[in-house]
Structure 1
Amino acid sequence: MKKSISPVPLLYPSPVLLICTYGSDGRPDAMAASWAGVCCSEPPCISLGIRKTRQTWENIKDRGEFMVCIPSETLVEETDFFGIASGKNLDKFSKTGMTPVKSEIIEAPYIEECPIAIACRVRNLMHIGSHTLIVGEILSILADEEACGEDGTPDMDLIRPLLYDSQKKTYYTVGEPSGKAFSSGMKFRRNLYEP
């Protein structure tokens, strides 16, 4: 039997991302974020939920562009610091030793140590309540060669991205595959038109 739980921002799994921007002074900044996900295929878009009180929100509002970096499990301490420290008065990059790299595509840096960096331009903003939903169109994806499989595309087993449990406030890593998409459920489709 299920029990009723008070509404909270609960969804499993939540990705752990580093959202990179430039401030009005041109200084690179980044924040850890987990309220995010893919929201459209054509054009490819990512959505982010960010509070207006965050420096990253100001930077995105001012410049209209941002990078979404996917950190690997080896960067858990640095990533956590990017989530607990404010970029308003602190250079998080120098504090952690992470390397901001100027993008050739948009006006936002990416983090060299992250295996994946996704360049986005703002398409839509929706003020919901405590957070603003930011929809960014994906313009380009940069991937470390070591993070790509034999087919040349990013491979989750090689990236080893972080996941977040908002209720336990704990980071996790990706587990073992449990099925193949668009084929694991085919046994139900075979008898689709039978009573």
Structure 2
Amino acid sequence: MLYPLPAVMVSLTDKFGKSNIITLAWAGTVCTNPPMLSVSIRPERYSYDIIKETGEFVVNLTTKELTYATDYCGVKSGRDVDKFKEMRLTKLSSEKIKAVAIAESPINIECKVRQIMELGSHSLFLADVVNVRVAEKYLDEKGRFNLKKADLIAYSHGRYYELGKELGTFGYSIRKESKPFNKQQAIDKEVRISKDTVKSLQKKKFADKQFTNKKQSGTGKHKTGIR
């Protein structure tokens, strides 16, 4: 029930140079230093033995435009079809490993297997991240990855969902932030200030009038002869 999950296409190349793509949802970050991630794969999957033998693979993030290909690469076996050819995907040479990446993906994460844990129905591949490439068109003016531009997708209980709407930033729950501008509140504030100013002027005018009346009637302490 730990959903949604990232829907990723993992690309790989066997020792004979044949490349394949396997779609996985059980993938995630496991360590910052050194940078590591994990993927879980069933031993009966065609790509299982290839990754186990070569110790290399590329995690390719998927987008709205790649949804069809993502699903296809998850239900078809590389034993029977050339997924790159059928989905018209472009092989992209990796920089640090022999396994190819998918050029149409916004982010390619090159990995080298560090450890394989045979857990039961799945085996967990713990891998070191040796290189990451991000397509420039998905970077903002500060060089950060713009998730909204990429239209990434997630997987949940057999369905694919589009991501993109930002709801907050890390730490915003405890950070003091200025309240958003509210036009009506600003108007009400100005009205209150105006009313307070009028009242203040009225009080001053009344006091001045009282002072003048006292001076004219000779009851004020400032009258000549009063000590």
2:59 equivalent to 1:68:
yes
Gaps of at least 5 residues in structure 1 are: 1-9, 188-195
Q: Is the 8 A contact 1:161 1:174 kept in 2?
A: yes
Aligned to 1:190: none
Deviation at 1:28, TM superposition (A): 0.9
**Structure 1: 4+ residue segments shifted above 3 A:** none
Count of aligned residue pairs for this structure pair: 176
After TM superposition, the structure 1 = structure 2 runs for residues 25-174 of structure 1, keeping only pairs within 5 Å, are 25-166=16-157, 169-174=158-163
Look up the SS of the partner of 1:79 in the other structure. helix
Aligned to 2:200: none
Stretch deviating more after TM superposition (64-73 or 145-154): 145-154
Q: Is the 8 A contact 2:147 2:164 kept in 1?
A: no
Look up the SS of the partner of 2:130 in the other structure. strand
Q: Is the 8 A contact 1:15 1:164 kept in 2?
A: yes
CA RMSD of aligned residues (A): 1.3
Name the aligned partner's letter for residue 74 of structure 2.
Answer: G
How far apart in 1 are the matches of 2:66 and 2:31?
A: 28
Q: Is the 8 A contact 1:20 1:30 kept in 2?
A: yes
Name the aligned partner's letter for residue 129 of structure 1.
Answer: G
Structure 1 residues 131, 179: closer, same or farther in 2, change over 3 A? same
Stretch deviating more after TM superposition (175-184 or 47-56): 175-184
Name the aligned partner's letter for residue 163 of structure 2.
Answer: V
How far apart in 2 are the matches of 1:158 and 1:100?
A: 23
Deviation at 1:90, TM superposition (A): 1.3
Aligned to 2:188: none
Q: Is the 8 A contact 1:19 1:56 kept in 2?
A: no
Is the strand fraction higher in 1 or 2?
1
After TM superposition, the structure 1 = structure 2 runs for residues 13-28 of structure 1, keeping only pairs within 5 Å, are 13-28=4-19
How far apart in 2 are the matches of 1:164 and 1:145?
A: 25
Gaps of at least 5 residues in structure 2 are: 177-227
Determine what percentage of the aligned residue pairs are the same residue.
33
How far apart in 2 are the matches of 1:109 and 1:74?
A: 20
How far apart in 1 are the matches of 2:63 and 2:174?
A: 30
